[in-house]
Structures are given as C-alpha cells and as structure tokens.
Amino acid sequence: MRQTTNLLKALTDETRLRILALLGHGELCVCDLIAVLELPQSTVSRHLALLKNAGWVTDRRQGLWMYYHLADTGMPVRMTLQQTLLAHLAGLATPKKDLERLGLYLKEKSQNACG
C-alpha cells in the first residue's frame, strides 16, 4: 500500500507532471529539462529524485551527465496511470508549450554540439 501511496503522491506537483509529460517523448538529460522548464538545477533534480523514488522514472549516467526516462517496468497500476496521465497531459496548454520549447531547444542544441 505504501508503494501505491508514494506513486500517487508524486503526481501532486505541477513541475513533476511537466517532467513526466516531457519524458513521455523520450529520454532527456537534466540539462534539457532545466532549459525547457526554466528552473534551477537544484529544483529539477529534487523533483527527479522524488519521481525516481516513487518509481516513475529511471536514470543512467553517461560521463558527467544524468539521463532520465520513464520507467518501463514495475507496478501494473503505474503503467495504467502513466498511459492515462500522458494522454491527458498531451491536451493541456502548459505541456504543449513545454514540448514546443523542447523541440526548439533540442534543434539548437544539436546545431551547437553541446553536451
């Protein structure tokens, strides 16, 4: 029961929902999330740690960078919630704007060969 409670508690913050919506489109580096969300590194990292501890995301290290993606295993309830949540978030204005900013940011990032 505690695992389900933690899973649901993680969804009670707008920033964490925005992060999940962005990660629904693929793996991202912390620096990508910082740029798109326009938030300090400490804030983004704190939210990512909470999402990771709740079972929503997993990470991997590549050199100095940490990359995050949606967890692809775990509790069946998380998988069901994830599908419903991502479909719902896709229709909201803020996640749509975040996704547009992500596209522009990644295009610029690839041209500058950053990271």
> Could you tell me the CATH number of the domain that includes residue 73?
1.10.10.10
* pLDDT at 75 exceeding the cut of 70: yes
74 lies in some domain: yes
User: What residues make up the domain containing 54?
Assistant: 2-104
Q: Which two tokens stand for residue 26?
A: 């693929």
Edge-first strand listing for the sheet containing 28-29:
28-29, 65-70, 57-62
pLDDT mean over 2-20: 94
- Side chain identity at residue 43, one-letter code: T
Among 22, 60, 62, 63, CA closest to 44:
22
**Range list of H helices, the chain:** 2-9, 14-23, 30-37, 41-54, 76-89, 93-112
37 lies in some domain: yes
Per the prediction, the chain carries an average pLDDT of: 93
**What is the value of pTM for the model shown?**
0.92
* pLDDT at 72 exceeding the cut of 90: no
Name the domain count of the chain: 1
